[in-house]
């Protein structure tokens, strides 16, 4: 009875795999496009390549794990290939080479995403020493692979031959192909075609419909510029992830330490960046001017977005030191005193020109106490859609608030000067405004009066005045964070809100506090 049950379960599992495979496995076509080539595949080669495609799909669980890994790294691979002018199709080669496992090692001692031997890696400008191995860095290794492939294609004048040269070297490819493929735009694939290219076609067929499709929950690979030397343990606190997580996704740094210099750090963020709703626009004829919207901006999405930025995360107790906090997911610092940009840059270990450039620093301005500044290049777009201009704001202060480059902010809204800004304007922070499109304006809420209105009628003031009662000034106390305490628990202890506690202590959206951290509490 038991053996029958085992046989039945085995049959069911086999049936499941067979049905999954039949439903999922793509079929090799007789013709496809690769780079700038038309590839024609005869029936025998089709069957041969199909066997490799089937093998890639044979284990559904393993395929889904690999599919998620591919989609995690592929946006970076595509971007770096595009920068070097290498065709998009070459991205499937990294799957073939390493399965996108950063520390993969071949039997010939080739290492990393693109499987470089040390000598070849150094030829394409990768750093390989006892502190850093850039073969395990998805950005630098892809840049190296792109340079390698592009160089070979310049000689061979055929992307198929250049791809095969990745396996056999330029000299081997020249000897193997001669001039038969030079400048050729149509490739015939048959049983005599080099096995490496047929293996590549199997990976292209297997994964081209899976790009951008996560088998599990969507993830993205965050990239941040950091200044070394710094340990992964310190960076883990700063970015709100575990030290083990950072080590896993940054195997390019040996021994869990980033040496002196500027490097890109990687860590996982679940899901896509949240896109906040933009301010609603009313339909109108192009010849009409946009009516002022009567909505109170305190109820508008854009107003709420403005109040939540900049987003500060990390070790806020050491915000004035480099490599301790992020400002809108970018490396940043907080100024502890007002001073010149030159002196501030010197204090945080940056070159003055770089500090001025990454912050779009206005000429003649000073670094101001308590304000946040960036130590890496700002983004071309913000994480939210729009911003409502408030009184007293200028283009630079808005660009700093969201971590968007000043030139990008101006370009997206077709604004060049601060004099063109008006309170209530709804600026785009992600999508460029169309040519000729007017900028919508919303009505800002009237500021709440801080003093009673002046009475125009004459008022008789008695000669003898009662002594004025001075308002009670809030007293400042400090709370030292103990193990296991949360912001909520601390706020309840002192009868305050979590938002007040975060505001008084510049705590970012990730709610990170550390044991021993001293928190300011303002009590009436």
**Domains of the chain by residue range:** 22-207, 229-270, 297-428, 475-523
Choose between 502 and 342: higher pLDDT.
342
The per-residue pLDDT for range 160-219, each reduced to its tens digit, is 999 999 999 999 999 999 999 999 999 999 999 999 999 999 999 999 988 877 777 777
> Residue 355 — left, alpha, or beta (φ > 0 → left; ψ -120 to 50 → alpha)?
alpha
Note the pTM of the prediction, 2 decimals. Answer: 0.55
pLDDT over 90, % of the chain: 45
Using only the alpha carbons of the chain, give its radius of gyration. 30
Would you state the pLDDT for residue 369?
Answer: 85
CA distance 12 to 140: 46
Say which residues have a Cβ less than 8 Å from residue 33's Cβ, sequence separation at least 6. 39, 89
With a cut of 60, say whether residue 254 has pLDDT above it: yes
Burial zone of 176 (CB within 10 Å; 0-12 exposed, 13-18 middle, 19+ buried): middle
Say which residues have a Cβ less than 8 Å from residue 184's Cβ, sequence separation at least 6. 37, 158
CA distance 247 to 270: 18
Backbone dihedral angles phi then psi of residue 372, each to the nearest 5 degrees: -100, 140
With a cut of 80, say whether residue 293 has pLDDT above it: no
Average pLDDT of span 76-85: 92
Backbone dihedral angles phi then psi of residue 180, each to the nearest 5 degrees: -65, -25
Question: Which residue's structure tokens are 């044991």?
Answer: 515
* Residue 4 pLDDT class (50, 70, 90 cuts): low
CA distance 73 to 139: 9
Topology alike, domains 22-207 and 297-428: no
Say which residues have a Cβ less than 8 Å from residue 91's Cβ, sequence separation at least 6. 74, 77, 78, 81
Q: What is the DSSP letter of 442?
A: B
Would you state the pLDDT for residue 446?
Answer: 58
The per-residue pLDDT for range 438-461, each reduced to its tens digit, is 888 887 765 544 444 444 444 444
With a cut of 60, say whether residue 269 has pLDDT above it: yes
Ordered strands of the 330-334 beta sheet: 312-314, 325-327, 330-334, 372-374
Q: What CATH number is given for 475-523 in this structure?
A: 3.10.350.10
Domain 297-428, CATH among 3.10.350.10, 3.50.50.60, 3.40.50.620, 3.30.70.340: 3.10.350.10
With a cut of 50, say whether residue 56 has pLDDT above it: yes
Mean pLDDT, the chain, whole residue set: 81
If DSSP codes are grouped into helix, strand and coil, which group holds residue 52?
helix
What's the fold here for domain 22-207? Lysozyme (1.10.530)
With a cut of 50, say whether residue 76 has pLDDT above it: yes
Would you state the pLDDT for residue 132?
Answer: 94
CA distance 189 to 306: 58
**Widest CA span in the chain:** 111
With a cut of 90, say whether residue 362 has pLDDT above it: no
Average pLDDT of span 286-302: 39
Q: Are strands 186-189 and 37-41 parallel, antiparallel or unpaired?
A: parallel
Backbone dihedral angles phi then psi of residue 464, each to the nearest 5 degrees: -100, 120
Would you state the pLDDT for residue 325?
Answer: 85
Average pLDDT of span 502-516: 70
Give the CA-trace dihedral at 330, 332, 334, 339, to 10 degrees: -130
pLDDT over 70, % of the chain: 80
Average pLDDT of span 292-316: 55
């Amino acid at each position: 009875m038991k053996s029958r049950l085992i046989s039945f379960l085995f049959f069911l599992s086999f049936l499941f795999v067979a049905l999954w495979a039949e439903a999922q496995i793509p079929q090799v076509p007789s013709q496809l496009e690769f780079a700038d080539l038309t590839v024609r595949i005869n029936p025998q080669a089709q069957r041969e390549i199909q066997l490799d495609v089937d093998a890639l799909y044979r284990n559904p669980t393993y395929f889904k794990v690999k599919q998620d890994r591919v989609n995690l790294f592929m946006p970076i691979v595509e971007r770096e290939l595009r920068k070097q002018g290498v065709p998009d199709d070459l991205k499937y080669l990294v799957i073939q080479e390493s399965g996108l496992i950063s520390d993969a090692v071949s039997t010939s001692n080739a290492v990393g995403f693109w499987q470089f031997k040390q000598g070849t890696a150094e030829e394409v400008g990768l750093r390989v020493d006892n502190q850093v191995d850039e073969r395990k860095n998805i950005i630098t290794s892809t840049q190296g692979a792109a340079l390698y492939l592009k160089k070979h294609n310049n000689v061979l004048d055929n992307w198929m031959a250049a791809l095969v040269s990745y396996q056999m070297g330029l000299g081997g490819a020249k000897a193997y192909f001669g001039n038969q493929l030079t400048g050729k735009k149509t490739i015939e694939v048959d049983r005599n075609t080099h096995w490496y290219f047929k293996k590549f076609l199997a990976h292209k067929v297997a994964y081209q419909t899976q790009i951008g499709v996560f088998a599990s929950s969507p993830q993205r690979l965050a990239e941040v510029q950091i200044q070394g030397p710094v340990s992964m343990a310190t960076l883990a606190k700063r970015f709100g992830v575990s030290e083990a997580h950072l080590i896993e996704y940054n195997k390019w740094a040996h021994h869990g330490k980033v040496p002196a210099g500027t490097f890109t750090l990687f860590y996982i963020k679940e899901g896509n960046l949240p896109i906040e709703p933009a301010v609603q626009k009313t339909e109108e004829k192009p010849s009409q001017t946009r009516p002022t919207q009567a909505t109170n901006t305190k109820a508008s999405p854009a107003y709420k977005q403005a109040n939540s930025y900049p987003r500060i995360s990390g070790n806020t107790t050491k915000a004035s030191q480099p490599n301790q906090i992020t400002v809108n997911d970018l490396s940043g610092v907080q100024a502890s005193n007002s001073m010149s940009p030159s002196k501030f840059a010197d204090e945080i270990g940056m070159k003055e020109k770089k500090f001025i450039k990454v912050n779009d620093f206005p000429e003649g301005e000073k670094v101001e106490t308590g304000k946040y500044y960036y130590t890496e290049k700002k983004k071309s777009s913000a994480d939210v859609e729009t911003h409502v201009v408030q009184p007293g704001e200028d283009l630079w202060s808005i660009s700093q608030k969201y971590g968007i480059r000043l030139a990008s902010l101006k370009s997206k809204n077709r604004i060049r000067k601060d004099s063109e800004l008006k309170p209530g304007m709804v600026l785009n922070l992600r999508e460029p405004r169309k040519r000729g499109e007017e900028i919508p304006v919303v009505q800002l809420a009237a500021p709440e009066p801080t003093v009673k209105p002046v009475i125009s009628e004459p008022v008789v003031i008695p000669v003898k005045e009662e002594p004025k009662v001075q308002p009670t000034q809030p007293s400042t106390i400090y709370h030292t964070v103990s193990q296991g305490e949360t912001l909520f628990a601390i706020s309840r202890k002192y009868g305050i809100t979590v938002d007040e506690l975060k505001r008084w202590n510049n705590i970012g959206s990730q709610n990170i506090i550390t044991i021993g951290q001293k928190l300011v509490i303002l009590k009436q």
